[in-house]
Amino acid sequence: MSTLHGIVNNQIYAQPGFSASRDDKGGWRGSAEFVVTAATWSQSYWRAQFSNGTSITTLDPTLDPFFSFLTVESQTVTRNEGGLVTVVVELTGSSEAQYNEGDLSEGSLPTYRLEGRISEMSYADHPKWKALSEVEQIALGKLLSGDYLWGPDPFSDPDSPTNATYIQVGEIINILNPDPITSADALEFAKRISKGDTSYMVPTITYTESTQGSDPMTAAQLNKLGKISTPRGNAPAVSGNRDWMLTSASQEQRGELYQTTIEWTLSEREGWDTFLYE
């Protein structure tokens, strides 16, 4: 701390060494040091001058007005010899909003992360399943649910490649009627389900943006969650009918600085269901 002379009560003395830096997400952080007399600090009015949310240019009017967006996030108070008190304030803020009002575009400089992971999905979500006839899908669905079992048909040629039928608990069905499972893909699903396999592994691609700014997310922005959406930045180009959905949004506040993270998830080959998610 600098050596000061002639310090009087009911005054705030800014010290040299104010610093501020901007990170790669657009948010600013800084610190500043002040000295007051112990008698001044003992008064609630003067302690309140250092309250969270106070602009740094209010505490130190000599600073460049540009830094007025930096506000107090926390304080460290040290009692010194000579009846003086040192107050170090940590500052946060941003000179701009991370998004335009009601939209998820423009704003502060964001950072991006692309991530791929493997997740487990039911056979019923597989593209080959969805290409089957409705009758086959219903029949296979009963196998998946356990309503029916898949086993040998005792009344058919044992050498037949389709020698199988539904077997309901205590009762053989579909012996006198054509088997609804006839296509090669449907038969393969039936055989796999009969062995206990009901799911497959599928890659899930997410694209995440993190940015910091001066404003919280709005209701209009949050309403975009769960809808088909085009990511900002340079998201990978997707082929076929694949598209993106905004699947996650979170925000953390530090002082007057808001850090927002939003995530898009890439669809399967046929794209997100526009009836449900537009």
pLDDT digits (tens, 9 = 90+) for 190-234: 888 888 899 999 889 999 998 888 888 888 888 899 999 888 888
Q: Where are the domains of the chain?
A: 13-93, 111-119+200-277, 121-198
Identify which of 49, 73, 45, 74 has the alpha carbon closest to the alpha carbon of residue 60: 49
The better pLDDT of the pair 185, 109 is held by 185
For 175, phi and psi rounded to 5 degrees? Answer: -80, -40
pLDDT digits (tens, 9 = 90+) for 78-121: 999 889 999 999 999 988 877 765 555 555 668 899 999 998 99
Can you tell me the distance from the alpha carbon of 250 to that of 80, in angstroms, rounded to the nearest whole number? Answer: 42
The answer to whether the CB of 34 falls within 8 A of the CB of 86 is yes
CA 164 to centroid of chain Cα atoms = 47
Q: What angle do CA 112, 109, 103 make, to 5 degrees?
A: 85
- Average confidence (pLDDT) over 32-60: 95
Q: 10 Å Cβ neighbour count for 199?
A: 14
Q: DSSP state, 235?
A: P
3-state class (DSSP) for residue 126: coil
For 96-135, b where at least 16 C-beta lie within 10 A, e where not — what string? Answer: ebbbeeeebeebbebeeeeeeeeeeeebeebeebeebeee
- Average confidence (pLDDT) over 58-79: 94
Output the average pLDDT for the chain. Answer: 83
- Average confidence (pLDDT) over 41-69: 94
For 166-192, b where at least 16 C-beta lie within 10 A, e where not — what string? Answer: bbeeeeeebeeeebbbeeeebbebbee
Share of the chain above pLDDT 70, in %: 83
Residue 187, H or E segment: helix 184-194
The better pLDDT of the pair 278, 18 is held by 18
Residue 278 has pLDDT above 60, yes or no: yes
Q: What is the pLDDT of residue 57?
A: 95
